[in-house]
Amino acid sequence: MHGSMYDAQCMHGCGVNPWPLDIENMPSVDLDTMLLLEPPPRCIQCGGLARVCTQLAVDDHWNAPHVEVARMRHETFFRELSAEQALTVLEIGCGTVMNKVRTEAARIIAEHRIRGGRAIHIRINSYQANIDQHEDNVSLPLGALEALRKINQLVTN
């Protein structure tokens, strides 16, 4: 829900929807001066400066309509989920410094459990895997790839 590092958006707010960045042709950076060696990316509509389409910590200029559509689908899915359906939330690499994902996962889990549904919460984080005590909460203090491989082995065997 924080955008994509592979998409760009206009910094001038000309109204164009985010577009895929040409990753192969990004400007090089002089590592001594931290200055661009080529011109920065430009908006495909107005020619103004473009930026990566991700939401920064405090960001009043993030172009998020496409993310809003995804958020509405996300909310509809959880609203329509019945108590008879089990829910699994897999949280990968979410630390405590930027707590938004952890808070959202906990909210979704709590709401489903309050409605009488079974909600399994799996937290994968090599350094901050702590999770509230509950029979359906699982803490995996591993790197993401290692944890996913182990989960895959358990599921496929």
Q: What is the pLDDT of residues 107-136, one digit of tens each?
A: 999 999 999 999 999 999 999 988 889 999
Range 64-84 average pLDDT? 83
- Whether the full predicted model's pTM is greater than 0.85, yes or no, is no
DSSP the chain: --EEEEEEEETT--SPPPEE--GGGPPPEETTTTEESSPPPB-TTT--BEEEEE--SS-TT---HHHHHHHHHHHHHHHH--TTS-EEEEEES--SSSTHHHHHHHHHHHHHHHTT--EEEEEE-SS-------TTEEEE-S-HHHHHHHHHHHHH-
- Percent of the chain, pLDDT > 90? 52
